[in-house]
Amino acid sequence: MTNRVVTDRVVTAAQVWAALEQVEDPEIPVVSLVDLGVVRNVQVEGDRVHVEFTPTFLGCPALEVMRDRMAAKIAELGGEPDVEVVLDDSWSTDRITPAGREKLRAAGFAPPAPRAAATPTLIQLQKGFRCPYCGSTETRLDNLFGPTPCRSIRYCEACRQPFEQFKTI
């Protein structure tokens, strides 16, 4: 006869959301995947926990890392993870939470402006964004192409600091 431990541990959607709030973005660890708004939905059916998420862009090199980290958090809760990557290109920077925007700003990143109905033009992108270091709007676009497709490089004329600006997507 073997001793088998049986638990009646029930995982709730609220517990899953709270656990996923602890999963850091692999490229910008000051924000969680929930802060970025890439986690779209959580469904719990018995032991099975189904999570839908959309990466910030379809060619994201951290896609597998994000999926694995979410699955590990769900398994820690006692759930059977089923993490689905939704590739319908529906993520936008408007999905970043207010807390996520503040965490980005505090880490030296300028959060994206709210998405307008029209696609921003290069002239709109050149307008001053608030510097995350000193708060000045006397900033300029230095390079439209930053370290990742979702960021550009800006320069603050007031404090003379370069910073990354999240593009509005």
Condensed to tens digits (0 to 9), the pLDDT of residues 142-165 reads: 898 888 777 889 999 999 999 998
Structure tokens at 2: 């073997």
Would 95 be classed as within a structural domain? no
**50-67 confidence digits (pLDDT tens):** 999 998 887 788 899 999
Do 73 and 132 reside in the same domain of the chain? no
Last residue of a domain, one of 44, 68, 85: 85
Beta strands in the chain (DSSP E): 39-45, 48-53, 80-85, 109-110, 139-143, 151-156, 162-166
> What phi, psi does 20 have (nearest 5°)?
-70, -25
Domain count for the chain, please give it.
2
Domain that holds residue 140: 110-166
Would 121 be classed as within a structural domain? yes
**Spatial CA neighbour of 28 closest among 141, 115, 107:** 107
Residue 91: pLDDT band with limits 50, 70, 90:
confident
Q: What is the pLDDT of residue 4?
A: 36
Do 80 and 115 reside in the same domain of the chain? no
Would 67 be classed as within a structural domain? yes
Q: Which of 23-32, 56-65, 77-86 has the lowest mean pLDDT?
A: 56-65
Helix and strand counts by DSSP (H, E) for the chain: 5, 7
Please say if the pLDDT value at position 121 is more than 70.
no
Structure tokens at 63: 């896609």
Would 90 be classed as within a structural domain? no
What average pLDDT does this structure show over 93-116?
Answer: 88
